[in-house]
Amino acid sequence: MTQGGEAMGRDETGRVIFVPHAIADETVIVEIVEQKKNFARARLIEIITPSPARVAPRCPHFGARRGGVTPPQQSCGGCQWQHIAYPAQLQFKTEIVREQFARIGKLPDAPVRDTSGMSEPWQYRNHVQFQLNADGQLCLRALESHDLVPIRECHIIHPLLDEIFRALDFAEADFASVTLRAGTRTGQKMVILEGRDDDPPEIEIDEPVSIAYQVPSGETVALIGQTALEEKLGERVFRVSPVSFFQVNTEMAERLIELVARYLAPRADDVLLDAFGGVGTFGLTLAPRVARVIAIEENPRAIEDARTNASDLSNVEFHIGAVENVLPQIDAHITLAVADPPRAGFAPRALDALIAHAPRALAYVSCDPATLARDARKLVDAGYRLIETQPVDLFPHTYHIETVSLFVREKE
């Protein structure tokens, strides 16, 4: 199984072929749909020898079902691994992280622990974005396509989102997208309508839900209810505005926080850097245990949320801007760091600046094993040792992998 979620096999000539909806160790018949110089991509036609890990997917919109394979344009791309038993999904994710460290990071002996999974890996998403088709139906993108698949049911969204999903009617509406968010610990619900013009629509609603309208420039206007929702992680409540990032799996986000705290083992005199700090998920949770927190975030709305979320804290300072621009200007003796970069990982200048500050330990939260492995190589070359990587399954039934890694400066 590969980083992109496909099974990788070889044909009779030895050519590498990537096949969605197949599973490692299966023998299958496929149809080649894309040819490159060194590999090809194919569509699954028939399973000759199935994997013991193959199961019947729960969702009718999933592409690989018993008795045949749905054409790609009719298959929802939201999940890629519903046909794989959950224990096997976790095993594959562990293997993928190890493979990325070995191949990209040149770290074949990277200490990667077994992936930590959910006891109930369904109905976990607190955030989902739909598109509308010409008939006003809520749709997700098709597998490996921009085609829209009308969704009748979704088994990975939280029940609070399912309540909204089933209550919405967009028969006469035309929005670029419709986003549903929920605070699964607080019970708060929000609908964000991304508009095609600056004029807000007329809304009728009899559900206890906030509705925000996002104009093409990106600004949001509260139409009904609150301007943001609240979610609770551990004992701390976080305000999250419509355009602010927040982990889509609340239960496993708490697992990330626990790991970061355990890995960093903060001391009362520490100065903690919270890079890509968002609404304060990590930095504010650790603030009571350190002397000072320096948070850097590029999104102005997220910074506003973080300031609100830190109203009870006096030792947190906020810097707005890209980490690669702000961190080189920080004049402080940083002793610990936590970083939760986007999928692209650290920009080279940002990682250089972090290395120059020489914190004794870094907790690196990653949503992409490939960029993690790339950055790990640079950290190791700069004198850091990778102590441990713990994959955490924030995204069951998809190929996406979240990890927390602890890097310690060698002389420590």
Confidence of residue 65 (pLDDT cuts 50, 70, 90): low
Look up residue 28 and give its amino acid. Answer: V
CATH code where residue 370 lies:
3.40.50.150
Pair 256, 190 in one domain = no
Q: What is residue 66's predicted lDDT score, i.e. its pLDDT?
A: 46
Q: What pLDDT score does 173 carry?
A: 79
Is the pLDDT at 412 greater than 70, yes or no?
A: no
Domain end among 182, 199, 227: 227
d(C-alpha 358, C-alpha 377), whole Å: 16
Which residues are annotated as catalytic?
Answer: 367
CA dihedral sign, ordered 143, 89, 107, 341: positive
Strand partners, 142: 76
Sheet bearing 148-150, strands edge to edge:
148-150, 138-141, 127-132, 177-182, 189-194, 210-214, 220-224
Give the angle 323-324-328 at the CA atoms, nearest 5°. 95
Note the pLDDT tens digit of each residue in 81-122. Answer: 999 999 999 999 999 999 999 999 999 999 999 999 999 999
Instruction: Provide the pLDDT for residue 37.
Output: 87
Query: Using H for helix, E for strand and C for coil, what is the string for 127-139?
Result: EEEEEECCCCCEE
- Per-residue pLDDT for 262 more than 80? yes
* 345 torsion bin: left (phi>0), alpha (psi -120 to 50), beta (else): left
**Do residue 61 and residue 210 come from a single domain?**
no
CB of 180 closer than 8 Å to CB of 190 = yes
Instruction: Report the pLDDT averaged over residues 377-384.
Output: 98
Kindly state whether residue 105 falls inside one of the protein's structural domains.
Answer: yes
Residues 134 and 185 grouped into a single domain: yes
**Residue 394: strand, helix, or coil:** coil
Q: Residue 265 — very low, low, confident or very high, per pLDDT cuts 50/70/90?
A: very high
pLDDT digits (tens, 9 = 90+) for 333-360: 999 999 999 999 999 999 999 999 999 9
pLDDT tens column, 212-225: 999 988 889 899 99
The answer to whether position 165 is within a domain reads yes
pTM for this one?
Answer: 0.94
Answer yes or no: do 111 and 141 share one domain: no
Same domain, yes or no: 220 and 262: no
Ramachandran assignment for 186, one of left (phi > 0), alpha (psi -120 to 50 degrees), beta (any other): alpha
Per-residue pLDDT, averaged over 384-396, amounts to 98
Q: Helix 348-357 to helix 369-381 angle, to the nearest 10 degrees?
A: 40
Give yes or no: residues 201 and 161 share one domain: yes
Which residues, in sequence order, are CB contacts of 65 under 8 Å at separation 6+? 56, 57
| Domain carrying residue 69 | 7-82
Using an 8 Å Cβ cutoff, are 116 and 255 in contact? yes
Residue 2 lies in a domain: no
Mean pLDDT of the chain: 94
Q: Are residues 107 and 254 in the same domain?
A: yes
Q: What percent of the chain has pLDDT over 90?
A: 84
Beta strands in 20-76 (DSSP E): 27-35, 39-49, 64-65, 68-69
**pLDDT of 71:** 57
pLDDT of residue 104: 98
Are 272 and 376 within one domain?
Answer: yes
Closest listed residue to residue 375, CA positions, set 364, 383, 367:
364
Q: What is the pLDDT of residues 13-60, one digit of tens each?
A: 899 999 999 999 999 999 999 999 889 999 999 999 999 999 999 999
pLDDT at 69: 56
Q: Read off the pLDDT band of 64 (50, 70, 90).
A: low
Percent of the chain with pLDDT over 70: 97
Residue 73: what pLDDT?
52
**In terms of domains, do 19 and 141 share one?**
no
Residue that wins the pLDDT comparison between 282 and 64:
282
150 and 57 both lie in a single domain: no
pLDDT at residue number 95: 98
If pLDDT is split at 50, 70 and 90, which confidence band does 170 have?
confident
Angstrom distance (rounded) from CA 193 to CA 2: 35
- What's 32's domain CATH number? 2.40.50.140
